[in-house]
Structure 1
């Protein structure tokens, strides 16, 4: 927990939201690809 204290709360929130958005984008892309595959086959 010591490393978290070194961050500003804003910086930590930025990093956290960036990770979350990246994960959401990846899942959205995978779901879209699966949907396209299901329609074609």
Structure 2
């Protein structure tokens, strides 16, 4: 997986680049990361 963070965060599968990317606003990305971290604890 490849992630490009900034005002808009892009995420794509490096093994299937032809599928394109998903884009998230910075606040949505931070919320996702916070939830993922909480789930791992």
TM-score range, shorter chain: 0.3 to 0.5
Choose between structure 1 and 2: higher strand proportion: 2
Normalised to the residue count of structure 1, the TM-score between the two structures is 0.46
Choose between structure 1 and 2: higher helix proportion: 1
Give the structure with higher Rg (CA).
Answer: 1
